[in-house]
């Protein structure tokens, strides 16, 4: 296996040493954002998720262009990179596709990191899709931290993490972790310490798992809409989706 061309996928001169992976499910009703249903319908949850995936692809591409960060972008796909949705993302967003492989989230995260280290990368960062407003500077900080730490974690407000960065495979970080609980971050930190791995923490951020998270995001979006268009964080697509959901939720 070898690294992609230095001119792809983002069109700039990229370092062959760093990879950023966006972990994404296909926006299939009933398969994504299920903790938001009800009150959302499966179709609404899938639409919201699809918009989040696009946001992450667009914003990470922008990070390469505006911050002059040097990394290759990957989209880790579930259930299959062969789905039309992912093929469209590959074409339109200039991103490399990978399949998520494993029986649980920990196995899928570990397998993805192993595959990329095997390609020759020295730094691998994996980020979820439910942080659509994550500042671009977080990616810059995370890669910088990997220059002095073995592991980088992006703490989520709910006690999990939205981002993990590695400089080497570390399977034990992903085994016997109670995923989707408020213990994920703390347990991962303890595991890293037991392995003798140094840990850096990026900015704490809210990921969207529950209706309370969604309501907070809707409020944030409404405040964002009062700013001049050029200074807004939310994409017009996601802002429109959140506005529609806010209206519908009032009657439920």
Within a domain: 73: yes
What's the DSSP call for residue 92? H
Within a domain: 223: no
Mean pLDDT rounded to a whole number for the chain: 92
At 168, is the secondary structure helix, strand, or coil?
coil
2-14: pLDDT as tens digits = 556 444 444 333 4
Within a domain: 224: no
170-218: pLDDT as tens digits = 999 999 999 999 999 999 999 999 999 999 999 999 999 999 999 999 9
Structural domain count of the chain: 1
In the structure encoding, which two tokens stand for residue 214, read together?
Answer: 């969604």
Burial of 88 (0-12, 13-18, 19+ CB in 10 A): exposed
10-53: pLDDT as tens digits = 433 344 589 999 999 999 999 999 999 999 999 999 999 999 99
Within a domain: 11: no
Residues 6+ apart with CB under 8 A from 91: none
Residues 6+ apart with CB under 8 A from 195: 170, 172, 173
- Band (pLDDT 50/70/90 cuts) for residue 70 is confident
CA distances to 109, 125, 196, 217, 245 from 21, rounded to whole Å, are: 10, 6, 25, 23, 29
Its domain, for residue 122, covers: 18-206
How many percent of the chain have pLDDT more than 90? 88
In the structure encoding, which two tokens stand for residue 108, read together?
Answer: 């899928």
Cα–Cα distance measured from residue 59 to residue 136, given in angstroms and rounded to the nearest whole number: 7
158-173: pLDDT as tens digits = 999 999 999 999 999 9
Within a domain: 145: yes
The domain that contains 193 carries what CATH number? 3.90.550.10
Within a domain: 186: yes
Within a domain: 218: no
Burial of 41 (0-12, 13-18, 19+ CB in 10 A): middle
Within a domain: 3: no
């Amino acid at each position: 296996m070898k690294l992609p061309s230095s001119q792809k996928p983002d069109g700039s001169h990229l370092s062959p040493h760093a990879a950023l992976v966006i972990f994404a499910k296909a926006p299939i009703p009933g398969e994504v954002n299920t903790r938001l249903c009800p009150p959302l319908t499966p179709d609404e949850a899938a639409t919201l998720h699809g918009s989040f995936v696009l946001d992450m692809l667009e914003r990470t591409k922008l990070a390469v262009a505006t911050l002059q960060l040097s990394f290759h972008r990957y989209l880790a796909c579930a259930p299959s990179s062969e789905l039309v949705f992912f093929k469209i993302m590959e074409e339109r967003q200039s991103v490399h596709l990978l399949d998520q492989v494993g029986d649980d989230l920990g196995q899928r995260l570990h397998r993805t990191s192993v595959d990329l280290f095997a390609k020759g990368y020295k730094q691998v960062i994996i980020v979820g899709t439910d942080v659509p407003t994550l500042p671009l500077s977080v990616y810059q900080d995370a890669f910088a931290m990997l220059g002095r730490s073995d592991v980088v974690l992006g703490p989520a407000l709910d006690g999990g993490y939205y981002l993990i960065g590695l400089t080497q495979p570390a399977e034990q970080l992903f085994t016997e972790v109670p995923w989707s609980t408020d213990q994920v971050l703390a347990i991962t930190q303890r595991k890293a310490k037991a392995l003798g791995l140094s840990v850096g923490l990026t900015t704490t951020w809210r990921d969207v798992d529950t209706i309370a998270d969604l309501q907070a995001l809707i409020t944030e979006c409404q405040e964002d809409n009062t700013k001049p268009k050029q200074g807004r964080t939310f994409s017009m697509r996601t802002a429109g989706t959140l506005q529609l959901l806010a209206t519908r939720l009032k009657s439920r």
